Structure 1
């Protein structure tokens, strides 16, 4: 049974949060006090990764909506009407910016 990518990522994030909760319980014991600082740094890094992925997904979803709107517009125009390339470029620029921004977030994570 295949899992939808968004469900898989939500499951992975839930598992990551559960693992950090278990780690916090372990680190609360005096024997593991010297591991608290590295664990806090790791938790901070994971939050940054989560934020970058969430931002990227949101921007990609907006981009998809923009592209779908453009495709709908083009299909409404039909084959008889030509749309100037400058107008197409103008319509695609916001989508291009969103995709570029989301790729920037993802490259930060990687």
Structure 2
């Protein structure tokens, strides 16, 4: 499954470009801008599994998939915002909580 089956590719690009222009990344705002925040819990779960590229049931240090290629700085901001238990990984529940905040 591809991310563009859940989110609009142009919306993803525009959001990433907006954050790169200000050299800052806000994961909560990003999810709002691309429309993931307004999606169903099932779509949020699908997005998590797409980002979980190695099927380890967690997202770690790389966030690169079709049409979504976060820089190291953006990935670090995402991990810091979502990793509530401090284990260096984002589980499905942490991801869903961040998206819905």
* Smaller-chain TM-score bracket: under 0.3
TM-score after normalising by structure 2? 0.24
Q: Which has the higher helix share?
A: 1
Name which one, 1 or 2, has greater alpha-carbon Rg.
1
